[in-house]
Amino acid sequence: MCGMQQVDIAIVGGGPAGAMCALMLARGGARVSLVHWGGYAPDGIELVSSRARRLIEQYCPDFFQTVSSGVEVRETTAQWGTPKPVTSSAMFNPWSSGVAVERPLFDHALRELARTENVSITADTKVSRIDRANDQWRLWMRGGDTASASLEADFVILATGRAAAQFLNRIPVVESSQIALMALLRPCPGDKPRHTLYVEGMDNGWWYALPARGGSYFAGFCVDRSELKKRNASLKEFFIHELRRTQLLAPLLSSDSGNLRISGRMTGIHPFSRPAGNGWIAVGDAAYMQDPLSGMGIEFAFETARLGARVLLGGMKEGATPHALAELAAYEASVRERVSGHDKAAAFQYGRLQR
Ligand SMILES: Cc1cc2nc3c(=O)[nH]c(=O)nc-3n(C[C@H](O)[C@H](O)[C@H](O)COP(=O)(O)OP(=O)(O)OC[C@H]3O[C@@H](n4cnc5c(N)ncnc54)[C@H](O)[C@@H]3O)c2cc1C
């Protein structure tokens, strides 16, 4: 072991949930250390909903001008079992424009923002084990400059996304049956940059496409893995074949489609399980993972980060140890309420799309 640090709160994982929670806690006066390893970090382009955008801008008003960039998404066009597409500026972005961001850049910008608030960030380092003895956590870390080191903390926040299953033996590993196949579609000649999110349901899955810089589009096809087994072609051929069957997205495919690079990401809903226990909470996807169609994963990550930070700071102000159980029960209740709110909103969106 070559280093030992002692902090109030250790955060494992520096995606939107971990970085935002670190930022809020540090602003509230807590000593926070965040350990981040990018091995499971989402790639590609995602929508920061208008609400999530507002949450960031409360802390850093010019975030999307100076800290991170993205493409504003001003309207949504969807087609789902209806002869005509539905176009709305309020479907996924009811308050104002959402922003389509490159996740690695966006996540990095959020961590840098947390660093400016004196969050100690250990990057490129994986937390491999977490132990608890005498009301203290010890995190074992590997990677980067810290060949092997440990960190002691009063409280642990799991912000590891779906990788949370490996810790505390509490979340069952869920093998998702759904996968998202994704690719960046280069602009067709003469295409003007657009600000539209496309969503289209098909008989075997659903498609989305988000605007990217320079007039490109980032398209994803969420499909059951059994469909992939049935295919009689390469992944790329399958992707192109399925994309050509759509009405809304097919025109986004340019003639140089031979250069497409397809990546895959497991998706599907992660069941809700306990987001808090003695001396720890889980935030973001580590607490609950919803359907990507909802477009609210980052928003939920920020909301749970905010709820968690509020509860912990409240507990610390009152002189209680941050793992006061009453506070954790309050966190669990709030997350449950948010999950049911998100589920209702998602069901509503599906209803709109299916009509
Ligand atoms: C196909 C698809 C499309 C999606 N599109 C959208 C969208 O458009 N808009 C939207 O809002 N949401 C979208 N989502 C959901 C969104 O990606 C997640 O809800 C969001 O990333 C959750 O953030 P998080 O911080 O909880 O977890 P993550 O973003 O997964 O971050 C966790 C981080 O912790 C790191 N980590 C994991 N284990 C360790 C460890 N042991 N030690 C150190 N670090 C560790 C990981 O590498 C990762 O960087 C989509 C999801 C899918 C599957």
pLDDT at residue 86 greater than cutoff 60:
yes
Question: Do residues 163 and 245 share a domain?
Answer: no
What one-character DSSP code corresponds to residue 256?
T
- Domain-embedded: residue 59: no
What is the atom index within ligand 1 of the atom nearest the CA of 128? 41
More confident residue, 81 or 243: 243
Q: Give the per-residue pLDDT at 219.
A: 97
Q: Which of 238, 267, 296 is the last residue of a domain?
A: 267
Residue having the nearest C-alpha atom to atom 41 of ligand 1? 127
Nearest to 78 by CA among 300, 337, 355, 353: 353
Q: Give the per-residue pLDDT at 120.
A: 96
Distance 11 CA to ligand 1 centre (A): 15
pLDDT at residue 165 greater than cutoff 70:
no
d(CA 240, CA 262) in angstroms, rounded, equals 10
pLDDT at residue 156 greater than cutoff 90:
yes
pLDDT band at 162 (very low <50, low <70, confident <90, very high): confident
Nearest to 88 by CA among 217, 215, 197: 197
d(CA 331, CA 333) in angstroms, rounded, equals 5
What one-character DSSP code corresponds to residue 23?
H
- Quick: pLDDT tens for 60-70: 999 999 999 99
Q: What percent of the chain has pLDDT over 70?
A: 85
- Can you give the pTM of this predicted structure? 0.93
Distance 276 CA to ligand 1 centre (A): 19
Q: Give the per-residue pLDDT at 72.
A: 93
Question: Do residues 132 and 237 share a domain?
Answer: no
**Residue 204 sits in a domain of what CATH number?**
3.30.9.100
pLDDT at residue 293 greater than cutoff 90:
no
The Cα angle at residue 33 between residues 27 and 39, in degrees rounded to 5: 120
Residue having the nearest C-alpha atom to atom 30 of ligand 1? 161
**Residue 304 sits in a domain of what CATH number?**
3.50.50.60
- Quick: pLDDT tens for 110-154: 999 999 999 999 999 999 889 888 889 999 988 765 556 789 998
pLDDT at residue 21 greater than cutoff 60:
yes
- Domain-embedded: residue 82: no
Helices assigned H by DSSP within 93-233: 103-116, 225-230
Which sign, positive or negative, has the C-alpha torsion 204, 270, 55, 12? negative
Q: Which of 224, 241, 267 is the last residue of a domain?
A: 267
Q: Give the per-residue pLDDT at 355.
A: 46
Look at 9-23, 41-55, 86-100 and tell me which has the smallest mean pLDDT.
86-100
What is the atom index within ligand 1 of the atom nearest the CA of 126? 42
Q: Give the per-residue pLDDT at 65.
A: 92
Distance 319 CA to ligand 1 centre (A): 33
Distance 161 CA to ligand 1 centre (A): 5
Residue 125 domain boundaries: 4-42+103-168+270-354
Question: Do residues 336 and 189 share a domain?
Answer: no
Burial class (CB in 10 A: 0-12, 13-18, 19+), 216: buried
Distance 105 CA to ligand 1 centre (A): 13
Question: Do residues 131 and 21 share a domain?
Answer: yes
- Within 6 A (CB) of ligand 1 lie 12-18, 35-42, 46-47, 49, 126-127, 159-161, 163, 180, 220, 265, 267, 284-286, 292, 295-299, 301
Question: Do residues 261 and 275 share a domain?
Answer: no
Q: Which of 40, 127, 171 for mutating ligand 1's site (highest number of atoms within 8 Å of CB)? A: 40
pLDDT band at 52 (very low <50, low <70, confident <90, very high): very high
| Domain total in the chain | 2
Q: Give the per-residue pLDDT at 3.
A: 56
Residue having the nearest C-alpha atom to atom 1 of ligand 1? 180
Mean pLDDT of 295-321: 84
Question: Do residues 121 and 187 share a domain?
Answer: no
Distance 135 CA to ligand 1 centre (A): 29
Q: Which of 105, 207, 217, 298 for mutating ligand 1's site (highest number of atoms within 8 Å of CB)? A: 298
Q: Give the per-residue pLDDT at 143.
A: 77
